[in-house]
Amino acid sequence: MIIVMSHQARPAQVEAVIERVREIGLRPEVSLGEDRTVIGVIGSNAYAYREAFSHLEGIQQILQITKPYKLASREFQPRDTVVSVAGVEIGGDEVVVMAGPCSVEGEEMLLETARFVASRGAKLLRGGAFKPRTSPYSFQGLGEDGLKMLATARTETGLRVVSEVVSAGDVELVAGYVDMLQIGTRNMQNYALLQEVGRSGKPVLLKRGMSATIEEWLLAAEYVLSQGNRDVVLCERGIRTFETATRFTLDLNSVPLVRELSHLPVMVDPSHGTGRWSLVRPLSLAAVAAGAQGLLLEVHPRPDQALSDGAQSLDFENFDLLMRQLRRLVEATAPEPV
Ligand code: PEP
Ligand code: MN
């Protein structure tokens, strides 16, 4: 349920409502809008308690949130969330590019990639130090050494860094080195991990599970939000379908749909979504045209030598070409001046 305060409501009236929510054993989540305050009341069957507020002043309306996810819904928060990743805003006016290798393979290659992507306008460096590989015999990542390399690249280039965390027990360690925690597709429904990143104090990049519906994806976001962490960015990364010609099927329907259903920023990862470098540029442009607020791209100085996901990694030349085309696309699709 959400309690919409009237725009003349006084702070003491807002406080009284929050107090009442707690008294009846439910949890208040306050959203300060531009002209009014909205109080989300969290707890199962919260709407049944609406009579408990009938004598309080300053309330304009009490509404039932009809979606199973609450804090992630547009009903709870109509305005877009802008997530700040150590000062880089995602969900605002700019399309934010996060680029780098699938895995951190060594300091030299990471720095070489970081310098290049930064010079072409990327704002975040990506790179996995803990890799969730389908086979236990594949390269598993450099672990903490890889995180240290990311931190070095951050200091040297000013790029913010994002890296995946695969288990709840590693959240504190990874959060100590990176600016944003990535939850991979294979962990989207690892609820203990979602709750732990929800308590980490770091922004979270939440990939869509490869077999997850949009509703399940938003409920996964709800796990993070319900721990008090409002800095969640959603990332569409392709789903399993009957099609086998590409690694996954990049579901671009989800981009404008999720932006209707939720206030959270939405990004797209066309590298994993297609599995082929030659499709990454066209699908990146399509994603941004569909409303994606950022792109997550795998870039490698020598894709043919990559320890993971070389086939879907852009080389420097193709990353450069994409960034130039992206700039023109963003100009062409900017909202018309009023
Ligand atoms: C990755 O970003 O390298 C990754 C493993 O992604 P996903 O979880 O989408 O497969
Ligand atoms: Mn990868």
Domain of residue 241, CATH code: 3.20.20.70
Q: How many distinct structural domains can be found in the chain?
A: 2
Q: What is the pLDDT along the chain (338 residues), one digit of tens a residue?
A: 999 999 999 999 999 999 999 999 999 999 887 788 999 999 888 999 999 999 999 999 999 998 999 999 999 999 999 999 999 999 999 999 999 999 999 999 999 999 999 999 999 999 999 999 999 999 999 999 999 999 999 999 999 999 999 999 999 999 999 999 999 999 999 999 999 999 999 999 999 999 999 999 999 999 999 999 999 999 999 999 999 999 999 999 999 999 999 999 999 999 999 999 999 999 999 999 999 999 999 999 999 999 999 999 999 999 999 999 999 999 998 878 87
Q: Domain for residue 205, yes or no?
A: yes
Q: Domain for residue 78, yes or no?
A: no
Residues touching ligand 1 (Cβ under 6 Å) are 102, 128, 132, 184-186, 207, 237, 269, 272
Q: Domain for residue 108, yes or no?
A: yes
**Domain identity same for 227 and 162:** yes
Which of 166, 187, 254, 272 for a ligand 1 pocket mutation test, highest count of atoms within 8 Å of Cβ? 272
Q: Domain for residue 73, yes or no?
A: no
**Domain identity same for 58 and 96:** no
d(CA 320, CA 322): 5
How many of the other CB atoms lie within 10 Å of CB of 202? 21
Q: Domain for residue 281, yes or no?
A: yes
**Domain identity same for 120 and 55:** no
> Whose alpha carbon is nearest atom 10 of ligand 1?
185
Compute, in angstroms, the gap from residue 20 CA to the centroid of ligand 1.
44
d(CA 55, CA 298): 56
* Atom nearest to 185 CA in ligand 1: 8
Compute, in angstroms, the gap from residue 312 CA to the centroid of ligand 2.
8
**Domain identity same for 28 and 126:** no
Compute, in angstroms, the gap from residue 227 CA to the centroid of ligand 2.
28
Which of 269, 300, 312, 314 for a ligand 1 pocket mutation test, highest count of atoms within 8 Å of Cβ? 269
Q: Domain for residue 178, yes or no?
A: yes
Q: What is the pTM of this model?
A: 0.95
**Domain identity same for 47 and 111:** no
d(CA 126, CA 106): 14
**Domain identity same for 205 and 327:** yes
d(CA 38, CA 269): 33
Compute, in angstroms, the gap from residue 231 CA to the centroid of ligand 2.
23
pLDDT at 336: 82
Which of 142, 163, 182 for a ligand 1 pocket mutation test, highest count of atoms within 8 Å of Cβ? 182
**Residue for token pair 């009809």:** 66
Compute, in angstroms, the gap from residue 99 CA to the centroid of ligand 1.
13
Q: Domain for residue 185, yes or no?
A: yes
DSSP state of 176: T
**Domain identity same for 45 and 98:** no
Assign residue 131 a region (left: φ > 0; alpha: ψ between -120 and 50; beta: otherwise): beta
Secondary structure of residue 29 in the 3-state scheme: strand
- Of the candidates 67, 59, 70, the one whose C-alpha atom is nearest the C-alpha of residue 27 is 70
**Domain identity same for 17 and 105:** no
Nearest ligand atom owner, CA of 313: 2
Find the CATH number of the domain harbouring 56.
3.30.70.1140
> Whose alpha carbon is nearest atom 5 of ligand 1?
184
Q: Which residues form the domain of 39?
A: 2-63
**Domain identity same for 87 and 142:** yes
Compute, in angstroms, the gap from residue 293 CA to the centroid of ligand 2.
20
> Cα angle vertex 214, ends 211, 217, to 5°?
75
Q: Domain for residue 71, yes or no?
A: no
**Domain identity same for 268 and 190:** yes
